Amino acid sequence: MNSTHDLAEKVALVSGSSRGIGKKIAYHLLSGGAKVYLTGRSQEDLDQTYNSLSEQFPDQVCRYLGDLSNTVTIAGLLKTIHEDHGHIDIVVANIGSGRSQSGWDVPDNLWEESMQINFLSAVRLSRESLRYMTEAKSGSIIFIASVAGVETIAAPVPYACAKAALLSYMKNTAPIAARYGIRMNAVSPGNVFFPGGTWDKKMRENPEQTRNYIRDTVPLQRFGTPDDIGSMVRYLASDAASFITGADFVVDGGQTRSL
């Protein structure tokens, strides 16, 4: 990605950006010159990320501690951002979790939990952001989905279904938002490794099996990195992607096989 400030003057919100993929998405948007709101529920993680990114990008980073899966909190944060800056240009719906139960006999509460965190939280964030973006007649919303929503891989079924629903929401809403000059896209990551993440845990618990899985199922034979996802999000948020909407970008080292 180039080093110019392709996102200068833009205001961005990345839900769930105190750790992992969301943190790197925030980093890439900051590198583009955007002002970025970080969010998370753990004060310690949020402060740590805020402090390290503020050192690199003084006056560009803001933070918000809270649960960004419910409408009241989301609406309150967007109102604050709008009051402080007058516009909200880029919204990245990144919150999600693949932790669920495998197999067919999944109880209601785990189905509901997965739909809440992986699907409805993103729908709510998108809907509340569109209130401001339709008024401004511009904006870019990017959803972090998963290869599990694109193809059948051995992911827990509630997670796969929630991410597939998210892609359908994006695809169906993008043409409506396009009438207001707003772009909506998704990024579907493959297996992304970072310290403390899901794949770090799998590597510790079962190193050989996990290494073999990556070697046998991912043509590029490596894990993805949060930078692989962050740089794609920066591109989609920028004017370089001004003709792209309603699209899902799979970033998976070739793992998915469908056309």
Q: Which residues lie near ligand NAP (CB under 6 A)?
A: 16-22, 39-42, 45, 67-69, 94-98, 144, 146, 189, 191-192, 197-199
Q: How far is the CB of 180 from ligand NAP (least distance, A)?
A: 26
- How many whole angstroms separate alpha carbon 24 and alpha carbon 137? 28
Residue type at 25 in one-letter notation: I
Of the pair 6, 252, the CB lying nearest ligand NAP is at 252
Show the tokens assigned to 108: 């209601």
Of the pair 18, 173, the CB lying nearest ligand NAP is at 18
Q: Is 30 helix (H, G, I), strand (E, B) or coil?
A: helix
Q: How far is the CB of 243 from ligand NAP (least distance, A)?
A: 26
In 72-138, which ranges are E strands? 90-93
Active site residue 159: yes
Q: How far is the CB of 165 from ligand NAP (least distance, A)?
A: 13
DSSP class of residue 143 equals: E
Of the pair 139, 156, the CB lying nearest ligand NAP is at 156
Residue of 50, 64, 132, 159 with catalytic role = 159
Between the two ends of the chain, the Cα-to-Cα distance in Å is 26
Phi-psi region of 155 (alpha: psi -120 to 50; beta: other; left: phi over 0): beta
Residues marked active site are found at: 159
